[in-house]
Amino acid sequence: LVTHYHSDHVGGVPAVAERIPIVTFVDYGDYAGGGKRSSELAAAYYAVRSKGRHLVVEPGDRVPLRGVEIDVVAAAGKFLDRALPEGGGPNPACAQTARREEDAGENSKSIAFLLRFGKFRFADLGDLPWNEELKLACPEDKLGEVDVYLTTHHGVDRSGPPALVRALNPRVALMNNGARKGGDPGAFEALQAAPRLESLWQAHYSLKAGGANAPDHRLANIVEGMCGHSLVVKARPDGSFTVMNLRTGYRKEYPALPDN
């Protein structure tokens, strides 16, 4: 699933396809933004995509993958017009979350989705900008609470508005940041305000966040240039899940909640 046509989201697809057979490619359709670099990346992706099944998805679609339910809530600048079963109702955090300057670039076209595996729920909203995320959280919360939230846009403070984080109200947040990419202090503040948050895990120590960073055992990479240690989530249908840091071997179990 390619969320949008930026290098850190589509650029690695040809290399991955050399190592792992890919049967189905999911995206929002062809790139039409006109940027030279994104056009080059898209062309390389199309060459690989042509060898498999291609699905173009829109909000309201469900990606066919056996054993899980993947609901598309945004794609190509369009957004879900009704609440998911777990959502609905007003979001009180909207009154304290102001809109920002519009961003109509490629990030705004990101595919965003929620995944269910039994009672386990996971949210990935791609690189949607701040105002676009508010379309999913305000004035009505269309998404509902999740167990794990992959922070939008690598934890930059141009995404992840407090009203969105409050709507998702995750038990665990995974920040897919780099040493200098994302990991902005404002993103940490929004996450820490989520009432249900038990743990924050990070792909990398953020040089911008200082003491707000997660402790060492929940950081996959602690030094700039470290070679790609990973975080792994293993979910179970009862809503319980495990997060493991492959750098240290540390793991934490999150039991199913009584109301899951």
Q: Which pTM value belongs to this model? A: 0.96
Q: What pLDDT, on the 0 to 100 scale, is given for residue 225?
A: 82
**Does the structure show a pLDDT above 60 at 175?**
yes
The pair phi, psi for residue 201, each rounded to 5°, is: -115, 145
What is the separation of C-alpha 166 from the centre of its chain, rounded to a whole number of angstroms? 15
- In 3D space, the residue among 247, 200, 243, 244 whose CA is nearest the CA of residue 222 turns out to be 247
Rounded Cα distance, 163 and 94, in Å = 5
**Does the structure show a pLDDT above 70 at 74?**
yes
**Does the structure show a pLDDT above 60 at 249?**
yes
pLDDT tens digits for 85-142? Answer: 999 999 999 999 999 999 999 999 999 999 999 999 999 999 999 999 999 999 999 9
Residue 35's CB is within 10 A of a number of other CB atoms, namely 14
What band does 50 get if pLDDT is binned at 50, 70 and 90? very high
In this prediction, residues 215-237 reach a mean pLDDT of 94
Tokens standing for residue 184? 């902005």
Contact status, residue 240 vs residue 223, Cβ threshold 8 Å:
no
Rounded Cα distance, 60 and 165, in Å = 21
Q: What pLDDT, on the 0 to 100 scale, is given for residue 43?
A: 97
- In 3D space, the residue among 38, 49, 52 whose CA is nearest the CA of residue 14 turns out to be 49
Average pLDDT, the chain: 96
- Find the angle CA(215)-CA(187)-CA(229) to the nearest 5 degrees: 45
> Token pair 């999911």 is at which residue?
26
Residue 11's CB is within 10 A of a number of other CB atoms, namely 16
For the chain, give me the number of helices (H) and strands (E)? Answer: 6, 13
Rounded Cα distance, 31 and 240, in Å = 38
What band does 259 get if pLDDT is binned at 50, 70 and 90? confident
- Per-residue b or e along 60-73, where b marks 16 or more CB atoms closer than 10 Å to that residue's CB: ebebeeeebebbbb
Rounded Cα distance, 211 and 41, in Å = 37
